[in-house]
Amino acid sequence: MTRKDLGGYIRFWRKKKGLTQLELAKKLQPKTTKEQISKIETGVANFRINYLFQIADALGCDISSFCPSMDGKRSENIILFQGTIEELEKRLLQKNI
């Protein structure tokens, strides 16, 4: 999964929830701009993993919502992506971050 793919799913959920880029930007900490949200959605911007969790929270969905499913089965790339997220969560918890 590329940043552009991930950004497309973020855009999909943002629109599904009826939020503008500016409204989403204001829900994040530190607050950001609609231009930055646009860069995230188009795959231009890099961002930290904690921002991805914040975006999911702001959109009222689980982080796994940003991963597509195919015929009810997750692709290897999606499983790898989720495994990476789970590993990062474990490391953050171990370090009390």
* Domain ranges (residues) in the chain: 3-94
pLDDT in tens, 4-31: 888 999 999 999 999 999 999 999 988 8
How far, CA to CA in Å, does 92 sit from each of 7, 66, 81, 85?
A: 24, 21, 17, 11
The encoded tokens of residue 89 equal 């969560």
The per-residue pLDDT for range 54-69, each reduced to its tens digit, is 999 999 988 888 876 5
Q: Judge whether 10 and 90 are in contact, CB under 8 Å.
A: no
Identify the CATH class of 3-94: mainly alpha
